[in-house]
Amino acid sequence: MTEKQGKGGDAVAATVDDPARLRNVALVGPSGGGKTTLAEALVAAAATGGRTPSTDTGTVFDHDPVALRQQRSVGLAVAPVLHRSATHGDVKINLIDTPGYADFVGELRAGLRAADAALFVVSAGHGVDAATVTLWQECARIGMPRAVLVSRLDHARADVDGEIAACAEEFGDGVLPLYLPASEGTALIGLITGRRYDYAAGHPPVVGDPDPADLDRLSSARGELIEGIIAESEDESLMDRYLAGEDIPEETLIADLETAVCRGAFHPVIPVCAETGVGLAEVLDGIAAACPSPLERAVPFAASPEGLPHPRLAPDPEGPLAAEVIRTTVDSFVGRVSLARVFSGRLQPDRAVHVSGHGLADRGHADHDEDERLAHLYSPFGAALREIPFAVAGDICALTKISSAETGDTLSTPDDPLLIAPWDMPEPQLPMAVVAAGRSDEDAMARNLGRLVAADPTLRLERRAETGQLVVWCTGEAHADVVLARLCDGGADVTTEPVRIPLRETFTRATTGHGKHVKQSGGHGQYAVCDIEVAPLPRGTGVEFADRVVGGAVPHQFIPSVEKGVRAQLAAGLTEGRPIVDVRVTLVDGKAHSVDSSDAAFQTAGALAIKDAATAGLTALEPFDEVEVRLPDNYLGAVLGDLSSRRGRVLGTEAPGGGTTVVRAEVPATELLRYAVDLRSITSGTATFSRRHVRYDPAPDHATAVR
pLDDT at 22 > cutoff 50 = yes
Residue 414 exposure: Cα atoms within 13 Å on the Cβ side? 8
pLDDT at 492 > cutoff 50 = yes
CB neighbour burial string for 283-313, b if at least 16 within 10 angstroms, e if fewer: bbbbbbbbbbbbebbebbebeebeeeebeeb
pLDDT at 626 > cutoff 70 = yes
Residue type at position 147: A
Q: Where are the domains of the chain?
A: 2-296, 430-497, 504-616, 620-704
Q: Which distant-in-sequence residues (6+ apart) come within 8 Å of 425 by Cβ?
A: 106, 109, 360, 408, 457, 458
Average pLDDT over the chain reads: 87
CATH topology of domain 430-497: Alpha-Beta Plaits (3.30.70)
pLDDT at 73: 52
Per CATH, the architecture of 620-704 is what? 2-Layer Sandwich (3.30)
Angle between helices 636-645 and 675-682 (to 10 degrees): 150
Residue 584 phi, psi (nearest 5): -115, 125
Separation of first and last alpha carbons in the chain: 64
Question: What are the helix and strand counts (H, E) for the chain?
Answer: 15, 38
* Measured CA distances, 268 to 177, 179, 428, 482 (Å): 6, 9, 35, 36
Per CATH, the architecture of 2-296 is what? 3-Layer(aba) Sandwich (3.40)
Nearest-angstrom CA–CA distance, 38 and 232 = 30
Q: Which of 22, 2, 6 lies closest to 393, judged by CA? A: 22
- How confident is residue 306, by pLDDT bands cut at 50, 70 and 90? confident
Average pLDDT of the segment spanning 683-691: 91
pTM of structure: 0.82
Cβ count within 10 A of residue 231: 15
Comparing 504-616 with 620-704, is the CATH topology the same? no
Residue type at position 278: V
pLDDT at 627 > cutoff 90 = yes
Greatest mean pLDDT among 209-213, 437-441, 554-558: 554-558
Q: Are 373 and 350 in contact (CB under 8 A)?
A: yes
From 37-41, 156-160, 631-635, 662-666, the region with the lowest mean pLDDT: 156-160
Residue type at position 290: A
Q: Which distant-in-sequence residues (6+ apart) come within 8 Å of 223 by Cβ?
A: none
Nearest-angstrom CA–CA distance, 293 and 288 = 9
Q: Are 326 and 113 in contact (CB under 8 A)?
A: yes
Q: How far is CA 538 from the centre of its chain?
A: 39
- How confident is residue 646, by pLDDT bands cut at 50, 70 and 90? very high
Q: Strands 117-123 and 146-151: what pairing?
A: parallel
pLDDT at 444: 92
Q: Which distant-in-sequence residues (6+ apart) come within 8 Å of 573 by Cβ?
A: 505, 579, 580
Q: How far is CA 164 from the centre of its chain?
A: 29
How open is the CA angle 310-365-431, to the nearest 5 degrees?
135
pLDDT above 70 as % of the chain? 91
pLDDT at 522: 64
pLDDT at 48: 39
Tell me if the domain spanning 504-616 has CATH number 3.90.800.10. Answer: no
In terms of C-beta distances under 8 Å and separation of at least 24 residues, what long-range contacts does 181-189 make, across chains too?
A: 181/153, 181/271, 181/278, 182/210, 182/211, 182/214, 183/211, 183/213, 183/214, 183/217, 184/211, 184/213, 186/273, 186/276, 186/277, 186/278, 187/278, 188/271, 188/278, 188/279, 188/282, 189/214, 189/218
pLDDT at 102 > cutoff 90 = no
